[in-house]
A and B are shown apart, each in its own frame.
Chain A
């Protein structure tokens, strides 16, 4: 290992050779510790400790202050397995992921491809396409709450022009989750678009040029150049979108409050309700553990299967 002696320690050189060599040998370790200390302390207090505490709490029944009151072992998890409400929550979460992730990616990819053309004024379109990235979940949800309004909202007004009967977007159990998904897809577009556009711009132009000389069609170039070269970026954005979908909360809180008939009670909303409305910190923690495993599985699967199909430059 390279030994680094900085200004202050140079003066000590003649003093004690032994002590110096120990000091300078550990100097890097001590400096590293000092620089990493803020991160280590914060991660310990706000990530690792609460993770263990969540596991711990999931084995207990708690009082109203969240203090563990009675050890119940795995009973909280058994309760969840039997709870119909939790089944609904898991089903809603998985359906939500299925509705939002593929459509978000495909939409954003389409937008990125058309916005990657070198045309006059393309910058304006790029800015417009990325605009939903700046929209907060609260602002977006309130806007969509109005768009979904059964009588005066724009969507049903538009449908009425085509003589389609008004839909009770947020009140009808068969439409509520779809409404939340539409809102989410809209919100995802900006960020997903921005990342994919960046990926497209990193592809070497020469590849397209030589393909064009060979007379390759648009779809051929898409399949043989764009998608393979974009795969690392696609891989990254699919993982992020999946994980975000599992963490959805704000849309549910503002648009439906988990209803109607618990059809939109996504897992994070379910945890929130259990912990901060019903004060059942034990069962809420057990649900949090389930959420943790969901995300862990997604990450592992992504790395296992995604990696193989990814083409690295």
Chain B
């Protein structure tokens, strides 16, 4: 549509501007203290010492493990809870279905930040401060997830459901033997989305973790930053690079998938 000799340079310039901060962080993580203080952009010599120091100064491996556990649990929990709800809204005609669906959707209008004070008090009462439960269970039910899966389940022809009943398949068997496998792509989309958002969550882990045992990697970065800022920018950036690699990998692998799945959910 546009001349490609116009588009290529534009694409190049935009890419450089956009990913410069990430590359810059990577370069800084390879420099020693002196070079950083000179305000260099490209490292003259490469050192890995910052990475070793980052692991020494905060228990980064423990944090990475915690983040992994938390993100995986939320992903699985969310997929189970949302897919059950979405299945019910599509295939089971029950009294008040529209009203219940409306109530589900209305939760999307309540910002998490507006309810965080009582939620924090609830978690405290349940004794879930510094526990995986406190970091995961509040995020299992997701109206957006239910909505997205409902859009995809609707594509499954109702005849398939009727045929499965004639064949004597129970509702639950129909759900996990037919609906789930058929909707694999949308489940993967929602799963990747859930994993990314949980991995990157900041405010809630900040509130409900006060020691290293379950603290996630995002809070680890903040800790690293407050500890090392005065002296060691290289160490802080090494920490940042370690933390963003899993999320970026997941994004690059699932980019096409995410784009397709999320757009479909948004406009149908």
A164, CB-defined interface residue at 8 Å? no
Asked if B93 and A2 make an inter-chain contact with CB atoms under 8 angstroms apart, the answer reads yes
Asked if B111 and A51 make an inter-chain contact with CB atoms under 8 angstroms apart, the answer reads no
A214 to chain B, nearest CB (A): 15
A117, CB-defined interface residue at 8 Å? yes
- Provide the residues of chain A in CB contact with B21, threshold 8 Å: 140, 143-144, 147, 186
Asked if A131 and B168 make an inter-chain contact with CB atoms under 8 angstroms apart, the answer reads no
- Provide the residues of chain B in CB contact with A237, threshold 8 Å: 266
Q: Which of A24-58 contact B (CB under 8 A)?
A: 28-29, 31-33, 35-36, 38-39, 42-43, 45-51, 53-54, 57
Other-chain residue from B19, B120, B218 in contact with A128 (beta carbon distance below 8 A): B19
Count of chain A to chain B residue pairs whose CB atoms are closer than 8 Å in the complex = 283
B237 to chain A, nearest CB (A): 7
Asked if B244 and A134 make an inter-chain contact with CB atoms under 8 angstroms apart, the answer reads yes
Q: What CA separation (Å) do A202 and B259 show in the bound complex? A: 11
Asked if B251 and A139 make an inter-chain contact with CB atoms under 8 angstroms apart, the answer reads no
A221 to chain B, nearest CB (A): 7
A133, CB-defined interface residue at 8 Å? yes
A227, CB-defined interface residue at 8 Å? no
* 24 examples of A-B residue contacts, CB within 8 angstroms: A35-B84, A39-B81, A46-B115, A50-B118, A51-B115, A54-B117, A122-B11, A130-B259, A131-B251, A135-B22, A136-B221, A138-B202, A138-B219, A139-B244, A142-B237, A151-B39, A194-B255, A195-B262, A202-B267, A253-B222, A268-B203, A291-B111, A292-B110, A295-B114
Asked if A143 and B25 make an inter-chain contact with CB atoms under 8 angstroms apart, the answer reads yes
Please, what's the 1-or-0 string for B100-135, where 1 marks a CB less than 8 Å from any CB in chain A?
100110010111111111111110000000000000
Other-chain residue from A28, A202, A299 in contact with B94 (beta carbon distance below 8 A): A28
Closest to B229 in A: A145
Please, what's the 1-or-0 string for B246-268, where 1 marks a CB less than 8 Å from any CB in chain A?
01101110010011101110110
Asked if B259 and A197 make an inter-chain contact with CB atoms under 8 angstroms apart, the answer reads yes
- Provide the residues of chain B in CB contact with A195, threshold 8 Å: 259, 262-263, 266
Question: In this complex, which of B38, B41, B202, B233 has the most chain A Cβ atoms within 10 angstroms of its Cβ?
Answer: B202
Q: What CA separation (Å) do A39 and B120 show in the bound complex? A: 20
Asked if A136 and B199 make an inter-chain contact with CB atoms under 8 angstroms apart, the answer reads yes
Which secondary structure characterizes the binding site on chain A? helix
- Provide the residues of chain A in CB contact with B111, threshold 8 Å: 243, 246-247, 291-292, 295
A275, CB-defined interface residue at 8 Å? yes
Asked if A289 and B114 make an inter-chain contact with CB atoms under 8 angstroms apart, the answer reads yes
Interface stretch (choices A82-90, A98-106, A280-288): A280-288
Asked if B94 and A276 make an inter-chain contact with CB atoms under 8 angstroms apart, the answer reads no
- Provide the residues of chain A in CB contact with B93, threshold 8 Å: 1-2, 28
B211, CB-defined interface residue at 8 Å? no
Q: Which of A271-313 contact B (CB under 8 A)?
A: 271-272, 275-276, 281, 284-285, 288-289, 291-292, 295-296, 299
- Provide the residues of chain B in CB contact with A33, threshold 8 Å: 94
Asked if A134 and B248 make an inter-chain contact with CB atoms under 8 angstroms apart, the answer reads yes
Interface size class of B (residues with CB under 8 A): 35 or more
Task: Knowing A31-B92, A125-B11, A142-B240, say if A39 contacts B266 (CB, 8 Å).
Answer: no
Interface size class of A (residues with CB under 8 A): 35 or more
B153, CB-defined interface residue at 8 Å? no
Task: Knowing A4-B165, A7-B170, A139-B221, say if A198 contacts B37 (CB, 8 Å).
Answer: no
* Shortest beta-carbon contacts, A-B, top 8: A198-B263, A136-B200, A42-B141, A50-B118, A134-B251, A50-B115, A53-B118, A32-B94
Closest to A237 in B: B266
Q: What CA separation (Å) do A299 and B108 show in the bound complex? A: 10
- Provide the residues of chain A in CB contact with B188, threshold 8 Å: none
- Provide the residues of chain A in CB contact with B14, threshold 8 Å: 111, 114, 125, 129
Known: A66-B120, A236-B267. 15 other contacts (CB 8 A): A6-B165, A42-B138, A47-B110, A47-B141, A49-B122, A50-B118, A53-B115, A111-B14, A119-B7, A119-B8, A134-B247, A136-B247, A138-B218, A268-B203, A291-B113
